[in-house]
């Protein structure tokens, strides 16, 4: 039984990661962040951004090493739409970040290590220019 429990906690070298993501100094209220390892043998990971913060638990976290960072922002447009079947009203959202932040050419990189757990990203709305 003890051997079984030990294997339950195996995390394949993963670690927790958290931080803040802002655009022009303002928190991204709803979005997601993805970490793509620059070492092709590593694990891709990511999670939601809520009120400018992300928090990835060890079980789903990144492994040590360099990663490219991709960010997405579900920006509220101020418009709504009505679901034709249910009649429910939903906000209309669209991607709010420059496309460079969603591509493998993203200028954002991070090197994860076991010593550091917090990684903040300050994005700029004019990054595509």
**Tokens 């994860």, located at residue:** 112
More confident residue, 47 or 3: 47
Architecture of domain 13-123: Sandwich (2.60)
Residue 63 CA, chain-centre distance (Å), reads 15
Domain ranges of the chain: 13-123
Contact 16, 56 (CB under 8 A): yes
Q: pLDDT tens digits, residue range 25-83?
A: 999 999 999 999 998 777 899 999 999 999 999 999 999 899 999 999 999 999 999 99
Q: pLDDT tens digits, residue range 93-127?
A: 999 999 999 998 999 999 998 888 899 999 999 98
Distance CA 122, CA 108 (A): 9
Distance CA 12, CA 19 (A): 22
Tell me the pTM. Answer: 0.83
């Amino acid at each position: 039984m003890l051997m079984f429990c030990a294997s339950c906690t195996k995390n394949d070298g993963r670690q927790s990661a958290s931080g803040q993501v802002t655009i022009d100094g303002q928190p991204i209220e709803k979005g997601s962040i993805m970490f793509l390892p620059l070492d092709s043998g590593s694990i891709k990971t990511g999670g939601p951004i809520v009120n400018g913060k992300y928090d990835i638990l060890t079980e789903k976290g990144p492994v040590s090493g360099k990663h490219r960072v991709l960010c997405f922002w579900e920006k509220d447009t101020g418009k709504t739409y009505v679901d034709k079947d249910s009649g429910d009203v939903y906000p209309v959202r669209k991607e709010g970040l420059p496309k460079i932040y969603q591509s493998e050419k993203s200028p954002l990189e991070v090197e994860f290590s076991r010593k550091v757990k917090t990684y903040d990203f300050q994005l700029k709305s004019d990054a595509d220019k």
